[in-house]
A and B are shown apart, each in its own frame.
Chain A
Amino acid sequence: MSRADTAAVRPSAEAARGPNPLWTFGLLRSELVTTFRRWRTLALLAVLAAVPILVGIAVKIETGDGSSAGPGGGGEGGPAFIAQITNNGLFLVFTALAATLPFFLPMAIGVVAGDAIAGESSAGTLRYLLVAPAGRTRLLLTKYATVMAFCLVATLVVAVSALAVGALLFPLGDLTTISGTTIGFTDGLLRALLIALVVAASLTGVAALGLFVSTLTGSGIAAMATTVGLLITVQILDQIPQLHAIQPYLFSHYWLSFADLMRDPVYWDELEKNLGLQALYAAVFGSAAWARFTTKDITA
């Protein structure tokens, strides 16, 4: 579920129940402020911002003598698009997202999502949150909206950091799509933004899963560890050829389909599958989290 959806749902709930409409926004704002002011969150964002810097510098050093980056022949190894960075800094955005999406980004989401309910619970602050007339459903929606906001911010941090490093170290200009056609720089920037949004949307499944795990336990650390553990397990399952029958239903299976936006014309099949799968995971684990959170005894 996206933030837009929660925004659409909220007014009707307000009308039915009657508390101050500003209260939900206040709750969301305070959640956002609390989350983004944590040192832990800032450290996660700093790590994410460092990845494109490292990739950019590594490519710059490797190609300092004029040789091309990446393996010459097979194109195997190294994140996608790495061979094109030297000629167009904009490709660093795509490379950085391809490098962080399999692990760094979902791990950061897992930490924030896992902490969302369980963290409050272990800190003993959850019951105070529930004393306020917000209701559990709305608190859960606010928490999910906050996690989604973090998904978006984390992805944009990677993209902006990569764009800055790419612009500093490498030339910018018209870029060649992977289909061989040429598009202008503005069009390229638009596609980069679209890719960042798709990457952020690709993380909604993990975010919902993390939130569900977070409602199961009273320990923040346990919820984070479980979410990240599940993430790693799913990534491993996605690599085992014998399991190809179930792989299309693993949330990480279509993650790298964002690269299809760089084809010309864009190849939508896998992108649609990816977004549909994320919506499904969000619906299943979001409603499971709701079922669990609205019925459990809050003791801390």
Chain B
Amino acid sequence: MAPNATDDNTTAGEADDLRVGRRKAVRYVVPVTVVGIAAATIGLVPALADSGDPDLPKITAAQLLDKIAAADVEQLSGTVKITTDLGLPDLGGLESGLLSGATGGGDGSSADPSTRLTELASGTHTLRVAADGPDRQKLSLLENAAEYSVIHDGKDVWGYDSASNEVYHSTVDESADDGETPPATPKGLTEEALKAVDDTTSVTVDGTVHVAGRDAYRLVIKPKQSGSTVGAISVAVDAGTGLPLKFTLTPASGGAAVVDAGFTQVSFAKPAASTFDFTPPKGAKVTEADDAEAAPEGIGGSGDDFAKDFKGLEGLEGLEGSAGSEAPEGHEVIGEGWNSVAVFETGGAGVPSDSELNSELGSDAGGALSGFLGSFGDKVSGKFGSGTVFSTRLVNALVTDDGTVYVGAVTKDALVKAADSAK
């Protein structure tokens, strides 16, 4: 600060009014300058940091895909920022109630991974990941003054919710674990996206980019067909290790990315061993997976489900639908590649009634919901009859009046066309 740079002579007073007036004005220049410098710094620093993409040797898309496949990063720690904007209406508390309801009404423990990680389906979240070989991983969801951590250490899988001081514990057969990391990280998301790569997809390398202080290639995956709601998937692949560092899914309709997950900081050094040590704190409420009566399907007491729990999240992101090959068993898939549409026969009426919703969600929330749901949908009709289309920015669903559900990452028109062709 500069106060002493100027002599604070306070007795000059009556001498010269003009001079005093000018000095008054000059002094106010100091705070104004400080504000100006701060504003310039805030505005310019990100712009300067962005300039200059790294200079890397040319590489073909196939080589880059091989690099991703060969990537064998055993040890890493870093911070991931994930932003999802599915264009769902902001339902606030109701949304989380619905999501936990949708996973089976699991009000067992707030430390249960499946109930907590569905939170990632909307908004911006900061995650911390750490891994040391296939047996030790940790994923933490940073919240205000609290944190939710999933720790995999050998045969133990712990979920710890510091806000409520609750612990969820399950065990995993060490041999059965293949070290699958949850797809909430750019790597997992990229793997899911690459499953969709076939002859309906164009894969290109589009220059280079800096991510989390590392040089990376930009891989762009685009559907060749029209009708998909997926505009492009862009993946920043670390030039050194082949690890995907940033995953961005932009919708065909334009606008903000639907999913944007990227490292803001990453280190390939071995994380401290204490990172993976977890002892339930004294007095914490521990829920064992086996004891969790209210546990949703899929939590069968095996830590393998740790990975499966995240599938719910993928489903929400429409990646399963778009991948086609991953469509759940017992459901028909029509169309191919990015335009594949999953068909479910519910056997019931179109938009579910109160009682159905009540029984499905296992709560009274259903009553208010049916009218509410109807208000979101658009009525459509075609050769298949008539029905209601529910739209998000990525996934559209058509519920016909005779109870058939068509879901896909395709536009409304393509969905109606698919339904027509199915009849």
Residues of A within 8 A of B (CB): 1, 5, 9, 12-13, 16, 68, 70-76, 80-81, 83-84, 86-88, 98, 130, 135-137, 140-141, 171, 173, 175-176, 178-182, 256, 259, 263-265, 267, 269, 280, 283-288, 290-291, 294-295, 297
Contact = CB atoms under 8 A, between A and B. Distances in A.
B148 to A, nearest CB: 9
B193 to A, nearest CB: 28
* Complex A-B, nearest 10 residue pairs according to Cβ-Cβ distance, in ascending order: A75-B163, A80-B145, A259-B145, A291-B27, A178-B162, A87-B283, A176-B281, A288-B31, A83-B165, A295-B24
Contacts of B422: none
B284 interface: yes
Contact of A181 (B3, B166, B278): B278
A180 B4 contact: no
A280 B38 contact: yes
Given A73-B164, A80-B144, A295 B23 contact: yes
A269 B1 CA distance: 25
A86 B283 CA distance: 8
Q: Most A CB atoms within 10 A — which of B34, B149, B151?
A: B34
B282 A87 contact: yes
Given A98-B145, A256-B145, A295-B23, A137 B281 contact: no
Contacts of B13: 297
6 contacts: A76-B163, A80-B163, A87-B281, A176-B281, A267-B142, A290-B1
A270 to B, nearest CB: 9
Interface in B139-161: 140, 142, 144-147, 149, 151, 158, 160-161
B110 interface: yes
Q: Most A CB atoms within 10 A — which of B31, B149, B151, B275?
A: B31
Contacts, number: 148
A73 B110 contact: yes
Nearest to B274: A181
Contacts of A269: 79, 264
Contacts of B28: 288, 291
A137 B3 contact: yes
Contacts of A71: 164
A291 B128 CA distance: 45
Contact of A179 (B4, B8, B110, B149): B149
Contacts of B63: none
A284 B34 contact: yes
B274 A9 contact: no
Contacts of B151: 180
